[in-house]
A and B are shown apart, each in its own frame.
Chain A
């Protein structure tokens, strides 16, 4: 076996080929985005445009809001948000939004159930009509409901003899909130119910489960994450609802005044710091609802799907 002298150059080339490839661009922030070769064009302009638009339209105004609220000293901030009138609006808003959401969940699952599982005349019409609250401006909904539920209105007069007030009281506010938010639960539960494997129900039935047990132990756990997702959207919407509620609420401080309206009043009175402080409470509450419900929903989803 004769030893051959390997040319120096060849060794170098082999080494070069075996060495891990170094990225040719410097690893600054932007080059992370370019790391994988992007075949499709237009990534940086579209992402840049998106970020610019969102910054100007969403982040800049919300930053102004946060900074305005931060202008207040902690004691002043606390005074504004713990004012008796403000606390009354939290209680009223939260009570009516929670009642509306509870109603939405029952109604939403009910409607989703009949729309996915039963065939009946007019099913498609009902299905299309469910979206009416999303298409109808809230001011129109509020105007119409206020007129119908007023003591001399078509529906209000049925309750007037028993001294039950619908409009200008809690029931009217809850009705307005239900109207503007009930499609959420229907539309989140509907696709999940439609996708349920009928064999699972059949298996439960064959094993001797009664229909009620099948619903409670098989179907309900499967749709629960969707129900929660819909309830979250409905609750957040109801907490912030303004148009429909102001028409029907009567807007008496300490009785039927919601937080959004109090913020509106503060703006009209040029008390911007107070308005900003109250707004941070409402925003904080809405974001807290989203985070908590997303966490619960994620846990349920993982339990269901492993």
Chain B
């Protein structure tokens, strides 16, 4: 088993009451110092984001959020997440089905491979995509154009009305680019989020075993029915948990996206990259205003995560 498999925490169990108890003095000093630390180290930076964002008043805050570049960055961040999260859900479910339900040689190697993005520095992930799709890469932009544009774009443009309806997509197909454009950002985001859903589902599906699926098959269900009506309801909270964490990382990724983005304001900037640009231009209130959106995302993630953990604990207790 890989060391990385411990990445996902499970719900905190109830504090136990051991017969050998530490002295109250030790207990309260250890707890007090730890609480001070958590307050200082976690709460202060989080609060500072909102305090700095609102420092120059609500108007400046609002202006930074509705700035066209900020809105474009928000749209791109959402686009990257909308592409990366569903793909990772499909991949995660397929990988978990193969790994948890069957035995085959090389299984632990495959599990390690799924964990690999956790060990790769995000900058290196971005660099790797530039080396595949960049100017000097294996599939440089001219080759991408040859591969995609003549075949697809002309046919699409020939259909009346469709070229207009597709908007940016048709334009992109006429001059397709991968790195320093939206597809590269999506690819880099997918790379860094590959482990999240699969890592959550594999142990859960392994623990549940195959008995219920066998029963369903015996009763005449086909494979899809078994999956939709037996397997999926059993793992839905675990899947949701993986999706929440995957989404937080997809929207917050900085290093990998930064390398492949090209930093065109209003076009290839995501929210985290927009924060950096504003910070480097000494527009601190604006940087913190945009950062506060991402901080809200983090808070929402934590709340959802706690709710799901509570559900999972409840399910486990009901099953016992």
Residues of A at the B interface (CB closer than 8 Å) are 32-33, 36, 38-43, 45-47, 49-51, 53-54, 57-62, 64-65, 68, 107, 110-111, 113-120, 122-124, 126-141, 143-145, 147-148, 154-155, 178-179, 183-184, 187-188, 190-191, 194, 198, 201-202, 205, 211, 214, 226, 229-230, 232-233, 236-237, 239-243, 246-247, 260-261, 263-264, 267, 272, 275-276, 279, 282-283, 286-287, 290, 293-294, 297
Are A226's CB and B6's CB within 8 A?
yes
B242 on the A face (CB < 8 A): no
For this complex, 24 residue pairs linking A to B, each with C-beta atoms less than 8 Å apart, are A39-B210, A40-B223, A41-B222, A50-B99, A58-B117, A61-B128, A64-B132, A65-B131, A114-B31, A118-B15, A132-B46, A134-B245, A135-B302, A138-B255, A144-B45, A147-B52, A148-B44, A155-B44, A183-B9, A236-B118, A246-B276, A264-B255, A272-B127, A294-B3
Residues of B within 8 A of A148 (CB): 44-45, 48
B272 on the A face (CB < 8 A): yes
A211 vs B275: C-alpha distance in the bound complex, in angstroms? 50
Closest CB in chain B relative to A242 CB, distance in Å: 4
Closest CB in chain A relative to B214 CB, distance in Å: 6
**Given A131-B302, A143-B275, A143-B291, does the pair A32, B42 have CB atoms closer than 8 Å?**
no
A98 vs B252: C-alpha distance in the bound complex, in angstroms? 25
**Given A115-B12, A144-B46, A242-B122, does the pair A229, B255 have CB atoms closer than 8 Å?**
no
Residues of B within 8 A of A243 (CB): 122, 254-255, 258, 272
A114 vs B41: C-alpha distance in the bound complex, in angstroms? 17
B18 on the A face (CB < 8 A): yes
Closest CB in chain B relative to A124 CB, distance in Å: 7
A51 vs B210: C-alpha distance in the bound complex, in angstroms? 23
Are A242's CB and B16's CB within 8 A?
no
Residues of A within 8 A of B210 (CB): 39-40
Residues of B within 8 A of A184 (CB): 6-7
**A-binding segment of B60-68, B102-110, B163-171:** B102-110
Are A260's CB and B123's CB within 8 A?
yes
Residues of B within 8 A of A50 (CB): 91, 94-95, 98-99, 110
Complex partner residue of B48 from A59, A60, A147, A232, CB under 8 angstroms: A147
Q: Majority SS of interface residues in chain B?
A: helix
Residues of A within 8 A of B226 (CB): 40-41
| Most chain B CB inside 10 Å of its own CB: which residue of A50, A124, A260 | A50
Are A129's CB and B45's CB within 8 A?
no
- When C-beta atoms are compared, the residue in chain B nearest to A36 turns out to be B103
B69 on the A face (CB < 8 A): no
B234 on the A face (CB < 8 A): no
Are A128's CB and B298's CB within 8 A?
no
Q: Majority SS of interface residues in chain A?
A: helix
The 6 A-B pairs at the shortest CB distance, nearest first, are namely A137-B252, A240-B121, A61-B128, A243-B254, A41-B223, A242-B255
A107 vs B33: C-alpha distance in the bound complex, in angstroms? 10
- When C-beta atoms are compared, the residue in chain A nearest to B99 turns out to be A50
A64 vs B320: C-alpha distance in the bound complex, in angstroms? 50
**Given A143-B288, A143-B291, does the pair A42, B48 have CB atoms closer than 8 Å?**
no
Complex partner residue of B19 from A46, A110, A183, A202, CB under 8 angstroms: A202
Write the B113-133 contact mask toward A (1 if CB under 8 angstroms, else 0): 110111111111111111110
Residues of B within 8 A of A283 (CB): 119-121, 124
Are A61's CB and B305's CB within 8 A?
no
A39 vs B288: C-alpha distance in the bound complex, in angstroms? 55
Closest CB in chain B relative to A160 CB, distance in Å: 17
Are B275's CB and A140's CB within 8 A?
yes
Residues of B within 8 A of A239 (CB): 121
Closest CB in chain B relative to A8 CB, distance in Å: 42
B182 on the A face (CB < 8 A): no
B22 on the A face (CB < 8 A): yes
Closest CB in chain B relative to A190 CB, distance in Å: 7
Are B254's CB and A64's CB within 8 A?
no
Closest CB in chain B relative to A41 CB, distance in Å: 4
B235 on the A face (CB < 8 A): no
Are A136's CB and B120's CB within 8 A?
no
Are A242's CB and B123's CB within 8 A?
yes
Are B217's CB and A145's CB within 8 A?
no
Are B30's CB and A233's CB within 8 A?
no
**Given A116-B13, A135-B301, A147-B284, does the pair A46, B97 have CB atoms closer than 8 Å?**
yes
**Given A40-B102, A118-B27, A190-B9, does the pair A137, B272 have CB atoms closer than 8 Å?**
yes
Are A110's CB and B30's CB within 8 A?
yes
Residues 14-56 of B contacting A (Cβ, < 8 Å): 15-20, 22, 26-27, 30-31, 33-35, 37-38, 41-46, 48-49, 52
- When C-beta atoms are compared, the residue in chain A nearest to B2 turns out to be A294
A286 vs B273: C-alpha distance in the bound complex, in angstroms? 26
Complex partner residue of A64 from B7, B104, B138, B273, CB under 8 angstroms: B138
A230 vs B131: C-alpha distance in the bound complex, in angstroms? 32
Are A264's CB and B123's CB within 8 A?
yes
Besides A114-B31, A260-B255, 19 other A-B contacts (C-beta < 8 A): A47-B98, A47-B104, A57-B191, A57-B194, A113-B30, A116-B13, A119-B17, A126-B34, A137-B298, A139-B294, A140-B272, A148-B44, A184-B6, A194-B16, A260-B122, A263-B127, A276-B127, A293-B3, A294-B2
A113 vs B33: C-alpha distance in the bound complex, in angstroms? 13
Residues of A within 8 A of B126 (CB): 267
